[in-house]
Each structure stands twice: as structure tokens, then as C-alpha cells.
Chains A and B, each alone.
Chain A
């Protein structure tokens, strides 16, 4: 029950939209005469809301789908339609110039209750139609070989994008690794994330994973010289240094 309520609170955010929705439900219950609308926009959501808070349903979800997506039952509530329709109905009932005032007041209330989607810190200006950061595009274009796949180890900021951009660049670990507990991290991931890069261990580990390239930010502090361990600097692109495995297999035949 505790998790259900926590998930509900997370889903509500500040809770204002959900308060408006519940108010709209009560409004519908009191004012709506059409039995079809009452059935679909009052009784059915109320039933679904009651079902959401049932521990047996959450236990069922927990068992088969995981609790982190249990909140999606709340998608079954027609929140947007109900609030918008109630607001429109309130505007309809207002008389004369009060219609405009009611409309503007309700629009402001909706703005205050929610939060502008584009304010999210995850929004960035798109650099190209693919919506990939240009450093990912440039580095991948520089290392990709026509006719075969290459293996490369990248800094964290690349992991999300490389395989979206090209399937010809493989990685020893991906974004999923970063979601795990740090202690169970891929060894290579731990080496790449260390404050100071241990050149010898990184080169050794990357070579054992069959990496053709190591990509590091120019600003990374490196203990030792990667070229001394078989990874000389090959190129510098967009603030990243690409180290090439001089013993790597760059033939145009797949080496697994």
C-alpha cells in the first residue's frame, strides 16, 4: 500500500492537476445528466481509481511487470479530457463578458497547476534532424569502417547516443550498465569513470574486450601514456581524443 501511495504522489507532482481532476469528477457527478458521459467520465474513472489503490492489483503488477510502471494504470483516467471539458462547460455557463474572464482565469489556473513541459532540463536545442549531439556524429563518422563493425569505449555522455546513430559501432558496455549499482559495474566502465584514468589498466582492459578505439575527453587526466600500451592518439575531434588500438583487427572481415 505504501508503494501505491508513493507512486500516486510521484504521478501527481504538486497535486494541483489531480485536485482539479477530482473537482471535475465531482462536478460531473453533480451536473452531468447524460448517462453515457456519466458512465465513461465519472463512474468508470472512479472505479479505476479504486482499483488502482487495491493492494492485490499492485501485488499482481509487482510480480509480473515491476512496481515502477504501476503508475501507468493512472493513464486510464481521462484527466485531460475531463478537466478541459469541465472548464469549457464553466465558460459556457458564464454570462456576457464573464465568459471571457472565466476562460482566461481557468486558462491561468491550468498554467499554474501544471508545469511547462519545455522547462524540463532534459530539453536541448536539436543540432540536426537526427537530434544527436554533433560530437557523437563526428566521432562515430571518424571511427566507423565501411563493411564491418568496430568496437569502441566511450565516455559516459556518448553511451546514450552512439547506437541510436549507428549500429556499426559496438561498445563493451552501454547505458544499461550505468543504471546498475556502481559496485557491479563493468570493469571497463569503472576505469573510464575514475577521476584519473589509469592508462595501463584501461589499455589492457580495452584490448581484452577487442576495442579498436578508446575515446576520451581532451580534459581527462591520464596517469601514464596510452600510446605506450598500444593505443596511440589517432585524432582529435570536438574536444575528444580518439586512441586507436595498433594491434586491433581492422580487416574488412568480421572478427566477432
Chain B
């Protein structure tokens, strides 16, 4: 039980807190629930990004997993601390602004317009106007509630099935074995995972050390790597993917909760029936959720679409806000660094996606303003791609 709680701390609570750094990406009008969902997903990916930043140099310098674990836990804890500070600052500012509103309201009350101000104060007291409206809207429409519950039941079924069914994928013989070896011996990518014999570093895998995340989570929680990989991690992947599709739906359908819930049911059906080929992202999500490739296809790429949607919305509205542009750049870079952890191929895929976004953005919005942020976001995958080719050309690696 303690092991489950520790794993929950590292997969749910700390990422949620760390995600506080990115909470302002979500428009305030959306309300708290959407911010919480986004913070959790972003926090999880910020942990991926931190691991990518720390793990690649550690592996190339032949350091042990134990050292990497120390650095990563410190960095993740610092991120969670920073995120908590951001959340608390936000709450403090919100309370202060409410206090000002209340002061204004009571001032108006005393000047004779009681009825109107009470109504306004009622909404604000219910937890901020946006939240109150959102909560009121949610429970007013029983069809939307029923359909949302149906979508959540389908998600729950998928998570339960990930516990009771196992998909025997051959690639686990490499990825999970790599993680198991690292967790037990501290050696990262120093041997042949399939057999346990010694061998040259395989550069392609070293540059995207997703299995090290499983090793660290296993060591932190005290569970075996196989348990973390096959039973612990799929929950995060599936819930995270659902959260991202919900966020995408929210940005597409706005306040129309009924259609949003219909959309979520369709998304779940598409995932359940996503075995049109073994190569589809849906198949990777259900069958191979412990592999970096699945995280790339189902967490990072939908997140990039979501961020592009919000970013382009602001570009199209001709908003000029340097601080928000910086926040977007920080969030995009976190996402693309996280992509690097998942798969070496992400260097090509992310560059291609962002390149296409740059081009389409220029043509659709007749502006170059999105260029600096998206170019900055492309730098991490390009850096790892170039590093790979430079190191591969030395001939010291496989």
C-alpha cells in the first residue's frame, strides 16, 4: 500500500504541483477543473523534460542511475516547489482581487443598489465567476453529465483492463529489460538488455532514455520495474491522454458542454476500436502504454496540437503580450524536451510538425509573430538530433 501511495505521489501529486508553473496557459474563463487537468499533464511532461535534460549527459559520461535519480528527484522536487509557489501566488492574488470586489460591492450596497450587488457577490463567493458559471452549467444539463460519466466509465474500463489484461509485446524485452537492469545495477545502457552481456552504448536508445523513468519510479516506490511498467504507468498514460483530448475538446467546443461530452464519448470509442492497424496511436496507448513511443503519440503530440491551438488563437486575435509569448515558449520547449525522452524519432516528428505549423501560421494569419516561439520550441529536438549524428560519426557507439 505504501508503495502505491509513493507511486501516486510521483505520478499524480508532484506533477500536479509542478504543473502550476504552466497554469496561466489556460484562459481564466475556462475555470479551475481545466487548469487542474492541464497542470497535471504539463507537470508530468515537465518531469519527462527534466529527465531528458539530466539523463543524456549522465549516460554519455557513464554515470550510474543512482546519481541520475538523485539529481532528477531534486530537480522534480524543485519544479514541484516552484509550481506550488506559482499556485499559491495565484490564489493569493485571486483572494485579494475578490476582497477588492467585495469591498466595491459593499460600497455599492451602502449606496442603495442592494439587489444587484448581492447577485454579483453570490457568484463570486461560489469560487470565482468563471468557476461558478461552469459548475452551474455542468449540473444544469443532465444529458451532458450522463455522457461525461459514460466517457469516464469507458476510461475507467480501459484502466481496469490494463491491470487485468496483458499485451505481450516483443519490444518490452528490450525497453523493460533495460529499465530492470538499470534499477538493479545502476548501469545505464552499458550492456545488451536482451541477454545481460556487455556491449557498446547504443546511441539511438541513449538519446531517448524513457526506460530510465521507469527505473527511477521503481526505485522510488519500491515496486519492481515490471510492476511499475505494466500496472502503474498505463493509468497515467490513459488518464493523461483522456485529459488532453478533453482539453482539445474544450478548446474546440467552448462552453457547449453537451457536445463536448458527446465528443469525449466518440474519442473513447475511437480509442477502443483503434486497432484498425497495430501501428495506430490508439493501439500503442492500449497495448504498449509503458513504451516511450506510446507517450510520444498519445501525450506529447496531442499536447503540441493543444498548445498550437491556444497559441494560434492568440496570434489570430492579434494579442501582443510579451509575457504570454515567453510562457508559451517555455511550455513548448518543455513539451519538445519531453518528446526527446520518449523517442529519438521525435527529433524528426516534432520538427516536421512545428515546421508545418510555422508555414501554415504564416499563410493563414499573414504574420511572422509566431515564428520566434516555434523556432525556439524546435531547438531541443534539433539539438538532440545533431548531437546524435555528431556522436555517431565518432564511431565509439553502436
**Which range holds the interface residue count of chain A?**
35 or more
**B245 interface contact, C-beta 8 A:** yes
**B203 interface contact, C-beta 8 A:** no
Question: Which residue in chain A gives the minimum CB-CB distance to B244?
Answer: A81
Query: What A residues does B293 contact at CB under 8 A?
Result: 72
The reply to whether A76 and B353 contact each other, CB–CB distance below 8 Å, is yes
The reply to whether A130 and B281 contact each other, CB–CB distance below 8 Å, is no
**B265 interface contact, C-beta 8 A:** yes
The reply to whether B181 and A116 contact each other, CB–CB distance below 8 Å, is no
Give the interface centre of A35, A61, A118 by most chain B CB atoms within 10 Å: A118
Query: What A residues does B196 contact at CB under 8 A?
Result: 149, 163, 167, 169-171
Q: Is the interface of B mostly helix, strand, loop or mixed?
A: helix
Which of A11, A79, A92 is the one whose CB lies under 8 Å from B256?
A92
Which of B192, B276, B287 is the one whose CB lies under 8 Å from A115?
B276
Q: Is the interface of A mostly helix, strand, loop or mixed?
A: helix
**B153 interface contact, C-beta 8 A:** no
**A48 interface contact, C-beta 8 A:** yes
Hey, what's the 0/1 contact readout for A93-128 against B, CB within 8 Å counting as 1?
Answer: 000000000010011001101111111101111110
The reply to whether A85 and B249 contact each other, CB–CB distance below 8 Å, is yes
Q: Which stretch of B73-81, B93-101, B159-167 is in the interface?
A: B159-167
Q: Which stretch of A172-180, A193-201, A233-241, A242-250 is in the interface?
A: A172-180
**B129 interface contact, C-beta 8 A:** no
Query: What B residues does A64 contact at CB under 8 A?
Result: 348
Once the chains are docked, how many angstroms separate the CA of A48 from the CA of B180? 38
**A22 interface contact, C-beta 8 A:** no
Which of A117, A129, A174 is the one whose CB lies under 8 Å from B282?
A117
The reply to whether B270 and A116 contact each other, CB–CB distance below 8 Å, is no
Question: Which residue in chain B gives the minimum CB-CB distance to A119?
Answer: B275
**A183 interface contact, C-beta 8 A:** no
Min CB gap B327→A, angstroms: 18
Known: A92-B256, A174-B192. A115 touches B165 (CB 8 A): no
Query: What A residues does B296 contact at CB under 8 A?
Result: 75
Which of A44, A91, A175, A176 is the one whose CB lies under 8 Å from B360?
A44
Residues on B facing A (Cβ under 8 Å)? 161, 163-170, 172-174, 176-177, 180-181, 183-185, 192-197, 224-227, 230-231, 245, 248-249, 252-253, 256, 259-260, 262-267, 269-283, 286-287, 293, 296-297, 301-302, 305, 308-309, 312-313, 316, 344-345, 348-349, 352-353, 356-357, 359-361, 363-365
